[in-house]
Every structure is written in C-alpha cells, then in structure tokens.
Structure 1
Amino acid sequence: MNKVLVLVGDATEELDAMYPIFRVREAGYRADVAALTRRDVQLVIHDFEPESDAYTEKNGRRLPVDLAFSEVDPTEYAGLVIPGGRAPEYIRLDADVRRITEYFFARDLPVGTVCHGPQVPAVYGLLKGRRTAAFGPLAGDMVNAGATVVDEPDVVDGNMVSCRGWPDLPEWSRAFVSVLERSSAPA
C-alpha cells in the first residue's frame, strides 16, 4: 500500500498541494488526487502584500484529478493529505470527504493538514483533544473544535501532522514523510 490520497478542490492553494504531492512521490509513494469530480481543479496562489489587510489570491496552475471523492476506496491508501486554500471550506461539506477523513482517523493512519486543511477534520469533531497547527486566523475555530493550537511549522500529534501554511512545508514534509514511513513499515 504505497499510495497517498490528496483531497483538493478549486481554490486549493498551489504550494499547499503541489509541494506535498511532489514530496510524497520523492519518498516513493504514489500521490492520487481526488476532488468533487474528475475535471482538473483550478489552484490558487496566496500571498501577503503590504497594501492588503488579508492575503491576496491569484489563479495558479490547473491540477489534474485522478478520481472523484465518491470513487475513493480509502483502504488503498497509506496516508491522507488535506491542503489549504479556500477548498477545505466547501469540500468538508461532501459526505465522501467525511467518510474518507473519518476512515484515516479511526485507523490511526497518517493525516497531513496544511494551512486551512484542519478545517476538514475539525468540522467532524476529529480534533477534540488533539494538538494542531493551522493558518493563524483559524485559531479560534480550532479551539472551538476542541483542539490545542500550536504555533509551530511541524506539529505531530500521533498520526496527524499539521502546519500553519506553505512557508512551513519543508519542516511539515519531513515530519509527514517520517510518520508515513513509520506507519507503513512492516510490523
């Protein structure tokens, strides 16, 4: 089982998706991309500019999708990645995203969240009693979901590895691949 599932949608942050996809491939895993449908998704680029009170958003690349959420058999995957951007706000409403996410948490399999990614497990009550990093403005949402927010680039809590956003991806990737390899190692 050398595959990792990546849950995306339109407005997924480009670095949040592409960096983990390339990193798990580099570690010898196949990265399958899933979305609401099989059509390519429009990634976005978020940046922080001095003349803006919030992050700015520009269109990024289009990302090919391997399968729809409804087609995912989570038993085929060693780990799950939920990138950030605006996509977590709406993909978390999909019943299959819930089914997939709960599967990984119930079996203590590796789950990586980046930036806004923790919004997905948070809405299902899966962060209660857990430590997580997240995009700074989400701290109140994470606390309301029962999590302890940790302001670090690579927060490991059991099977879950989280970070605050794309600047943390080098540290997050090392930690996530380590958890993935440990989980995938023969007993």
Structure 2
Amino acid sequence: MLDSEQQFGPDIESRVNDHDHQALKLWLRLLACTTRIEDQIRQRLRHDFATTLPRFDLLAQLERHPQGLAMRELSQRLMVTGGNVTGITDQLEAEGLVQREPHATDRRSYTVKLTPAGKRQFKRMAATHESWIVELLSGWSAEEKAQVYGLLAGLKTHLAETTRK
C-alpha cells in the first residue's frame, strides 16, 4: 500500500509515520484536505474572477449583513488585522464593489456595505464557488457526506466543551 506522500504528493500529512498516534494522523489528514480545497478555491478565484480568497471572504461577510459592518467588526469576523481589512476595503471601494459610510454611532468609524455592483458580482462568485465545492467533494456519496458532517458536528461540540474548561 502506498503511503500518503506517494499517494497524494508532499503535503503536511507526509510528516506522519506508522508509529504516530491515530489522532495526529487524522488531524493532519483533515488539515491536508482543507489545504488542498482552499488552494483550489484560491486558484479558481484568481483565474475566473481575478480576485483573492480574502476579498471573497470580505464580500461574503457584507452580503450576510446588508446593513453593513464596521471595519473592526469585519476584522474580527475575518480574523485579520485592521490594516488588512483597510487594504482590501480600499481595493474593493476603488472597484466600486463596496462603499464606506460614516458609522451611525461612532464618528471615528465607518460602516462598509456592498454596492449594487458588489451585490451582483458577489452573487455570481458565490454561485460559482458553491459549484466548485460541490465538485471538490463529489468523491463522496450523499450518505458519506452526511456521515462525515455528523461526525464533525460531534467533534465540534467536543472541542467547544474542552475550550470552556
């Protein structure tokens, strides 16, 4: 039987060997799969839409919040620095996809919203993004996807409980 590196090429999972704990092997397999999917999405966003994953993620946050989000809220939701959000917002604003408005209650802050052009562009990207995810996970049957989804729900619950201790 081929080992992971022979089967899939070098990635983070190639660090494991037969003597490593099963939990470590599983974690690295999850990470390797996530990384491969993310790499595909990054390449496809760049090729098909001339954009990046961070820009897509910022637009997605704004699409979920039509009333807009403060820059600091965007930074927290995207788990990046305020400087990163400012740079991405500057680019998207220059392209007419987002607009800044003075914050309703904080004169030192701005709220960022999608423009009508931003809404249209994001709608196209989101539909295509969804089709990519469907394609990338098509190696599993519907039953297998449901099973993995359920197993990961249990893991997520366990992880939430362990972080509270």
If the TM-score is normalised by the length of the shorter chain, which range does it land in?
under 0.3
The structure whose residues are more often strand, as a share, is: 1
Query: Which has the bigger relative contact order, CA under 8 A and spacing at least 6?
Result: 1
TM-score norm. by structure 1 comes to: 0.23
Which structure dedicates a bigger proportion of its chain to helix?
2
TM-score, length-normalised on structure 2? 0.25
Instruction: Look at both structures and tell me which one has the larger radius of gyration over its CA atoms.
Output: 2
